Amino acid sequence: MSTKIKSILVTSVAPLSDHAANRGEKLLGNASSVKHRPDGRVYISGQMQRHVLFSALERLNEDDPNRGKTYVANGDGPSTDISTDLRSDLGGFLDTNKGDYSGRRIAPISATPAVAQEKSSIGRDLLIRLKMNRDEDSTKKQALATNEFSVRDEMVMNFHLDVGMVGMKKLYEYNNEYHVGTKYISEISDDEHARRVRLFLESTGAMTDFANQARNAVSGEPHKVLIVLDTKFSRKAVRYFQTETTDEERKNILDELKSRGALVFLGDDTTSEGDSVAQAYAKAMKELEINKLYRPPHDKVV
């Protein structure tokens, strides 16, 4: 029997070594610090996670022969046209110039900050800018700076997609300032809707573009993953890889998901038992092809 997929949740663990995937304030003079929580665990902000996700999505979209006129707008200037701009559609926007609901879109994609599973070990790297020009008129001076980095972290990452709202506008009807009705309008075809859902899932396994990391080649590609194609809107499974979660809780989370017909895929590259991460993604992508993706009753834009 076909499953109606209403939301997709991906929770994963990615090993990051000698990294500064998300720098924070300069807390120690000219030292560029790594963001970390009060408990000493390094984290990557939700904003950075979404930035990296959309960078991956842009690459995948550009390689897709069925992309049509779609593109991913820069983060500082989403077009608000969800029919072609994938950032506006999947990432939402707020255009205060429009002054009504048409200028606000809640993002179908959501993400949590990525957090290390254990307390992080922080090091500092000394950077030196040498002055080689002996010209006395040169204003460029020799300078010293330090950069913090984290030695090694197992980072837990979480992403969620509201499948029904992809490519969909939600309009509110008012009568004498009373909300009397809600209707949906689709800006894209069912085929394009399915394509964007697949792009989201594939992007969660291709996290590479962390800020200022071009020379350090930091990768957030996971070596453990749990993919949930869910029959309801739920984010409960984000707890699965958290260190505070017990084995009994993990078992109960999986049992609950399976009891309501959700499709669950576990991948682990650190063991020969079960599926690898690549196999889990491949199986999930196949199920997206053969199962029904939920879309609320809607009108279609001609």
Kindly report, residue by residue over 75-95, the tens digit of the pLDDT: 887 888 999 999 999 998 876
Q: What is the pLDDT of residue 27?
A: 47
Q: Is residue 139 part of a domain?
A: no
In terms of residue numbers, what domain contains 49? 4-22+45-118+152-300
- 39 or 138, higher pLDDT: 39
Q: Is residue 127 part of a domain?
A: no
Contact 276, 266 (CB under 8 A): no
Helices (DSSP H) in 155-228: which residue ranges? 190-203
Strand partners, 280: none
Q: What is the pLDDT of residue 79?
A: 85
**How confident is residue 1, by pLDDT bands cut at 50, 70 and 90?**
low
Angle between helices 277-290 and 190-203 (to 10 degrees): 170
Dmax over CA atoms of the chain, in Å, equals 80
Q: What is the pLDDT of residue 302?
A: 44
All residues at 6 or more sequence positions from 170 whose CB lies less than 8 Å from its CB, including other chains: 182, 183, 184
Q: What is the pLDDT of residue 93?
A: 85
Q: What is the pLDDT of residue 147?
A: 78
Kindly state the tokens that stand for 29: 């003079």
All residues at 6 or more sequence positions from 25 whose CB lies less than 8 Å from its CB, including other chains: 33
Which helix H or strand E contains 154, and what residues bound it? strand 143-162
Q: What is the mean pLDDT of residues 180-187?
A: 92
Q: What is the mean pLDDT of residues 160-170?
A: 95
Q: Is the pLDDT of residue 212 over 60?
A: no
- 202 or 2, higher pLDDT: 202
Q: Is residue 164 part of a domain?
A: yes
Q: Is residue 32 part of a domain?
A: no
Q: Is residue 30 part of a domain?
A: no
Q: Is residue 142 part of a domain?
A: no
Q: Is residue 73 part of a domain?
A: yes
Q: Work out the number of other CB atoms within 10 angstroms of the CB of residue 238.
A: 21
Domain count within the chain: 1
**How confident is residue 137, by pLDDT bands cut at 50, 70 and 90?**
low
Q: Is the pLDDT of residue 214 over 50?
A: no
Alpha-carbon span 186 to 145, nearest angstrom? 52
Q: Is residue 146 part of a domain?
A: no
Alpha-carbon span 33 to 223, nearest angstrom? 26
